[in-house]
Amino acid sequence: MLPCFLLPEEGILFMHHEPVMLNEVLALMENHSHSKILDGTLGLGGYSEGILKRFQSSQVLGIDRDSEAVKFSCQRLSEYSQRFTALLKNFGAVSELDDVASYDVFVFDLGVSNMQITIPERGFSFNIDGPLDMRMNPDDDSCPSAADVLRDSDAETLTEIFRNYGEERYAKQIASAIKRSPVPITTTYGLVELIRKALPQPVQRKMGTHPARRIFQALRIYVNNEAGELESLLKSLPEVNRTALVIFVSYHSLEDRMVKHSFRQWQNEGFGKIITRHPITPSEDEISRNYKARSAKLRAFSLSMN
């Protein structure tokens, strides 16, 4: 674990970031012990900053698998170096923390950070041209990039990826078009162009959203094993901490279903109780300020097993 002031600051640029439903997260924490808090998806530090400002005696640990995000957040939160530390780690491995049982609150925002979306070299955005990478930890050479997945997977495997993780209705057509391509798909715009050519115009008009959105989502989830990390976290967390408030903010139905079903299972097994009978959603005012928030759902659970 590294105090933030020990991390390098060179090359870190200012980047706007508005954490989704921060006020709702803080309101839930008001009614719970909050001396020790884990921000399990640190990103650009928005939740950690809001927590440190509101609860001035709280200690916060932020973890993230993206080393650049950790560096950025550490510089951003340097004034809180006595109460904030950071760790390069996947949120699926939270149970491996030595003192995991001592945390009062766990917060997980399952979205993609603005840094990952807006830097072309990261390859997350269908609106910016760049290499088709999508790895949340670009330093991990053992993890295949999105371009590697498209190149090395057969049409059947790609179809399953697009259906399971993107809920893409036209998964088979798009997968077939990718495998018929005479050249490898190695850039974000290259993939977008192929998808546009693979789908008839009437189909694209009826989608009501960018035709590549679900494919990019599916590839990102698959490349980073996000569903596997979330499954591991949901399985292990109530076994290693018996008294914490757990908060999740998710952005698509796959993750939200996993959280909802796990919370029900936790409650049925006597680990505590569901705080949010129905998911909390952002206000119209927040959505107008931050379009990213439009699909967000917040669910919370109080672990209270003796």
- pTM, two decimal places: 0.91
DSSP classification of residue 280:
B
* Burial zone of 179 (CB within 10 Å; 0-12 exposed, 13-18 middle, 19+ buried): middle
- What's the pLDDT tens digit per position in 212-254? 999 999 999 999 999 999 999 999 999 999 999 999 999 999 9
Q: Do domains 2-116+225-303 and 144-223 have the same CATH topology?
A: no
Residue 255 CB contacts under 8 Å (≥ 6 apart), including other chains: 110, 226, 227, 230, 248
Q: What angle, 0 to 180 degrees and rounded to 10, lies between the N-to-C axes of helices 213-223 and 155-166?
A: 100
Q: Across all residues in the chain, what is the average pLDDT? A: 92
- What's the pLDDT tens digit per position in 160-212? 999 999 999 999 999 999 999 999 999 999 999 999 999 988 888 888 789 99
pLDDT surpasses 50 at 4: no
Run of H or E residues at 146: helix 146-152
- What's the pLDDT tens digit per position in 40-54? 999 999 999 999 999
144-223: which CATH topology?
Answer: DNA polymerase; domain 1 (1.10.150)
Does residue 275 contact residue 106 with C-beta atoms inside 8 Å? no
- What's the pLDDT tens digit per position in 89-130? 999 999 999 899 999 999 999 998 888 888 999 999 999 999
Q: 2-116+225-303: which CATH number, 3.40.30.10, 3.90.226.10, 3.40.50.150, 3.40.50.1110?
A: 3.40.50.150
Interval 128-149 mean pLDDT: 93
pLDDT of residue 306: 61
- What's the pLDDT tens digit per position in 5-17? 334 344 444 455 6
Residue showing tokens 């290693």: 240
Neighbours of 245 (CB within 10 A): 24
Residue showing tokens 């995000």: 69
Give me the residue spans of the domains in the chain. Answer: 2-116+225-303, 144-223
CA dihedral defined by 47, 48, 53, 59, rounded to 10 degrees?
140
284 backbone φψ class: left, alpha, beta (φ>0; ψ -120 to 50)? alpha
Percent with pLDDT over 90 in the chain: 82
191 backbone φψ class: left, alpha, beta (φ>0; ψ -120 to 50)? alpha
Q: What is the CA radius of gyration of the chain?
A: 20
* Burial zone of 257 (CB within 10 Å; 0-12 exposed, 13-18 middle, 19+ buried): exposed
Q: What angle, 0 to 180 degrees and rounded to 10, lies between the N-to-C axes of helices 253-268 and 226-240?
A: 20
pLDDT of residue 291: 85
